[in-house]
A and B are shown apart, each in its own frame.
Chain A
Amino acid sequence: MINLLRVEGVSRSFGDRRVLTDVSFDVPAGRMTGFVGANGAGKTTTMRIILGVLAADSGTVTWRGAPLTPQSRRRFGYLPEERGLYPKMSARDQLVYLGRLHGLTAERARANTTDLIDRVGLGERAGDLVETLSLGNQQRAQIAAALVHDPDVLVLDEPFSGLDPAAVDTLVTVLRERAAAGVPVLFSSHQLDVVERLCDDLVVIAGGAVRAAGPRDELRAAHTRPRYELVADDDLGWLRDQPGITLVDLDGARAVFDLAPGHDDQRVLHAALDRGPVRAFRPVAPSLAEIFRELTQ
């Protein structure tokens, strides 16, 4: 039995407005899958359908090869986009309660809660009513709430939004541990730099349709144009006249350029060396933001 969460051909409309069209992607075990898209692209709707909070008009979500049931979903950990806990309950009581609702025994729920309170850095604040906690601590409690029942699958909607840098680091550590333990982790974010740093796999969604899905590095390779950066001592304006070169950026002695297919990068390097010392010459991989822009245009 393979620990794979698979979304297959999911479509959904709200009234006349179609928000998801034939959305399919995999969230494999042991990997962090980043789910990126602009606001309103359909990330939250997809996640709510995975959790069964929303029904799909068509399509299926399967876990370990079988359609999801309320029992299998109870073993999922979910961080909704809009955060919230009971304001008049202490973080600790709340975590124990949520753990038990997800099927843990009272004893286990208490042990996990104590452990998590430590891990997310809630410490002695855990006994305070949630409404009296600082925003940062409320976020920590919220993250703990998604993890308290040792979920089989983690679905986190914008887990990093509103977190201070320390909390981001804590969360990253915890999520990496869970992924390493074989849990599929799906998280959405519009902070592409965070996604780039964290995810192993990527799903790019735009206008309710998946534009690309797969391992991040493959995606990057597929979208890498032959682009180079060249740094020399003198002005590089001469590059402009070289065959096959399109300048992307020129700043005196530093240039970024694309090379048309069939042109040799080494020839450009030799030409540069003929003109004087070369300090750097390297291929440039596009950033996720660039790939994203290209995919969603």
Chain B
Amino acid sequence: MTTFAAVRLVAAREIRVKLRDKTFLISTLFFLLFAAGSAILPALLAGTPTSVAVSTPADADAMRQAGLDVRPVADDAAAERLVRDGDVDAAVVAGPQVLALDERPADVLRALSTEPPVRLLDPDTVDPVAAFLVPLAFAMTFFFTSQLFGVQIAQSVTEEKQTRIVEILVAAVPVRALLAGKVIAGGVLALGQIALIVAVAVAGMRIADGGGGILPLLGPALGWFVPFFVIGFVMLAALWAVAGALASRQEDIAGVSMPVQLVVMLPFFAVMFLNDNPLAMRILSYIPFSAPTAMPLRLFTGDAAGWEPILSLLVLLATTAACLAGGARLYEGALLRTNGRVTLRRAWRDRESVG
């Protein structure tokens, strides 16, 4: 059997176990409901248009053009009665004068007034709502996914150590095959979950407002997000696996993985808080741990040159290769030491198995 076949077997087992794990299934279902909800709810909450009683046909046209629910009435008295009874939100009577119970009906007022035309000399290419939501979505996706699946990789490594099945595994297959299988399985599950969530969110948006909107705008940024995400995930997964190997019991993982959690958390907050500072974002888009969110974001807002994502991706790739090589060595050095926490120094110095 080749190492490749061993990697595939290990990965397949990890995926199969996860797909039968109730916690995983329920959390995925929860994410899906959340995605569907946030795509559909805004349209539902937008509610019905303001109803307005109108006595003159000229005003009625203006109201209709503004998308309001117009109720033509015979005279002003009838209009006022409808407002008082609460049958309509507002009324336009002779004058013109607007009637309402206790709140100025802003959309009726807007429909009656004329605004001078505005010409923006330097318009934002992106809609401000999208400019706020997209960074949030990228950063959250990378943060939560790498955190969630990272912890699971660490737990699965520690489980093998804790149950001592690792000795049987190491006697049968190369240690690196175990590591690779786990990282690949984590990546496949993470991407699968995200793809499912995105599919549900897109379908939800289609149902809610007929598509359009933000999706076409996201295209190129999303295209870059995928490779950045995959490579960034592999880098972090290798680190999580080492954390799992250094621990001997599930209870130790939290403590041992502190440094890994920091390199996930700090870039997340940096991108969240500094995403309107071009200099900070330029720096963040080259630091491997923040690049997976920062670079697609700069591409989205259109202030990265064409060569920039390529350079950043190369930096990320090099760092990932280093993390994998160093991680594999630490993993080999720590995996068979089952008495308590293993220090990084020891794991680095003496690798045990000869397999």
Chain A positions within 8 Å of B, measured between CB atoms, are 48, 51-55, 70, 73-74, 76, 78, 80, 82-89, 97-98, 100-103, 145-146
Q: Closest CB-CB distance, A117 to chain B, in whole Å?
A: 18
Given A100-B9, A101-B6, are A88 and B164 also a contact pair (CB < 8 Å)? no
Contact B355 A84 (CB under 8 A): no
Contact call A53/B353, Cβ cutoff below 8 A? yes
Pairwise interchain contact A82-B21, C-beta atoms closer than 8 A? no
What would 11 more interface pairs be, CB under 8 Å, given A52-B170, A101-B6? A48-B167, A54-B336, A55-B352, A55-B353, A74-B173, A78-B171, A82-B167, A82-B338, A84-B162, A88-B21, A102-B172
User: Which residue of chain B is the closest to A49 with respect to CB atoms?
Assistant: B354
Counting contact residues on chain B (CB < 8 A from A), the size range is: 20 to 34
- By a CB distance below 8 angstroms, the chain B residues around A98 are 168, 172
A217 → chain B, closest Cβ, in Å? Answer: 32
B164 touches A83 (CB 8 A): yes
Q: Bound complex: CA of A74 vs CA of B169, how far in Å?
A: 10
Contact with A along B14-48 (1 / 0, CB 8 A): 00010001000000000000000000000000000
Q: Once the chains bind, are B355 and A101 in contact (CB under 8 Å)? A: no
A-B CB pair tally, cutoff 8 Å: 73
A97-B171 in contact (CB<8A):
no
A78 proximity list for chain B (CB < 8 A) = 167-168, 171
B1 in contact (CB, < 8 A):
yes
Offer 6 A-B interface pairs, CB within 8 angstroms, sorted by A: A53-B336, A55-B354, A74-B173, A78-B171, A85-B165, A88-B21
Q: Cβ of B141 < 8 Å from any Cβ of A? A: no
Given A53-B171, A74-B172, A88-B17, A80–B164 Cβ distance below 8 Å?
yes
Q: Which residues of chain B have a CB within 8 Å of any CB of chain A?
A: 1, 6, 9-10, 13, 17, 21, 159-160, 162-174, 336, 338, 352-355
Q: Within 8 Å CB of B170, what residues of A?
A: 52-53
Q: Contact: B163 with A97, CB < 8 Å?
A: no
Contacts of B6 in A (CB 8 A): 101
Residue in A51, A86, A89 whose beta carbon sits within 8 Å of that of B171 in the complex: A51
Q: Tell me which of A54, A83, A85 contacts B353 (CB under 8 A).
A: A54
Describe B's contact surface by its main secondary structure: helix
**B355 to A52, Cβ gap below 8 A?**
yes
A70 engages B174 (CB within 8 Å): yes
Shortest CB distance A31–B (Å): 22
Contact indicator B164/A52 (Cβ below 8 Å): no
Tell me which residues across on chain B come within 8 A of A52, comparing CB atoms: 170-171, 353-355
- List chain A residues, Cβ under 8 A from B17: 86, 88-89
For A86, list chain B residues within 8 Å (CB): 17, 159-160, 163, 165
Decide: B163 and A80 in contact? CB cutoff 8 A.
Answer: no
Contacts of B167 in A (CB 8 A): 48, 51, 53, 78, 80, 82
Once A52-B354, A55-B354, A88-B17 are accepted as A-B contacts, the answer to whether A76 and B171 lie under 8 Å apart by CB is yes
CB distance A82 to B164 under 8 Å?
yes
8 A-B pairs closest in CB distance = A84-B163, A84-B164, A80-B167, A82-B164, A51-B171, A103-B1, A84-B165, A52-B355
CB distance from A76 to the nearest CB of B (A): 7
Residue of chain A at shortest CB distance from B167 = A80
Instruction: Provide the residues of chain A in CB contact with B336, threshold 8 Å.
Output: 53-54
CA distance A97 to B10 in the complex (A): 9
Measured CB to CB, the closest approach of chain A to B348, in angstroms, equals 16
- Distance in angstroms between the alpha carbons of A48 and B164 in the assembled complex: 13
Distance A100 CA – B163 CA, assembled complex (angstroms): 20
Please indicate which of the listed interface residues B1, B17, B338 has the most CB atoms of chain A within 10 Å of its own CB.
B1
Least Cβ–Cβ distance between B99 and chain A, in angstroms? 68
B-side contacts of A84, CB under 8 Å: 162-166
Expressed in whole angstroms, the Cα–Cα distance for A83 and B165 within the complex equals 7
Cβ–Cβ < 8 Å partners of B171 in chain A: 51-53, 73-74, 76, 78
Q: Once the chains are docked, how many angstroms separate the CA of A103 from the CA of B353?
A: 19
What is the minimal beta-carbon distance from B6 to any residue of chain A, in angstroms? Answer: 7
A83 to B10, CA, bound (A): 20
CA distance A179 to B226 in the complex (A): 55
Q: A51 to B336, alpha carbons, bound, how many Å?
A: 13
Residue of B with least CB distance to A103: B1
B168 and A80 contact, CB distance less than 8 A: yes
Q: How far is the CA of A143 from the CA of B338 in the complex (A)?
A: 22
Task: Kindly provide the distance from the CB of A106 to the nearest chain B CB, expressed in whole angstroms.
Answer: 10
